[in-house]
Amino acid sequence: MGLVAPAIRKDLNIPDVVQQGARKTLSAALTAIDQSSLAEHAYLCSDSVTLADLAAYVEIGQLQPQFTNVFDFSPYPNVQRWLTRMQQVAGHDAVHVVLAELGDISQAAPDMDQIRAANIKALQALKSKMSSL
């Protein structure tokens, strides 16, 4: 809410204090996992991907440069390695079509046409996947 929403939904007028709090909270969480679990394991709970990784990646992964580009991961080398590993999980690209299509929002918010086009592309990817099952 404090990192992505202010760039996409400027109409929400999310206060700077909320945005700064979100950045501080995320930094503390990333420091903790970078120096503990990801210092010992390839993934959050073990050396195999788990539901915890999938759930965390939904929130953390969207902030990467190839998606929204609203957070600098360089101080967290173990998190960076984890992010790279998570990109290899089957289906990653298909479920991230919207974010890939919207791209970097760190400098300018996408307009409604971009958001609409990204969602249409994601729906097409979903329909394609469902028809192949």
Using alpha carbons only, give the angle 45, 95, 12 rounded to the nearest 5 degrees.
95
Q: At 59, which helix (H) or strand (E)?
A: helix 51-61
Residue 48's SS3 state is coil
Tell me the whole-structure pTM to 2 decimals.
0.85
Percentage of residues in the chain having pLDDT higher than 90: 56
What pLDDT, on a 0 to 100 scale, did the predictor assign at position 93? 83
| Distance (Å, whole) CA 25 – CA 60 | 12
CA distance 10 to 33: 31
**Contact assessment for residue 61 and residue 100, using Cβ atoms and an 8 Å cutoff:** no
The count of domains in the chain is 1
Q: Residue 9 — very low, low, confident or very high, per pLDDT cuts 50/70/90?
A: confident
Instruction: Give the structural domain span for 41.
Output: 5-131
CATH number of the structural domain spanning residue 82: 1.20.1050
pLDDT beyond 90 at 125:
no
Query: Token pair of 73, please?
Result: 């991961």
pLDDT in tens, 73-108: 999 999 999 999 999 998 888 888 888 888 888 888
* Tokens representing residue 130 in the block: 């469902």
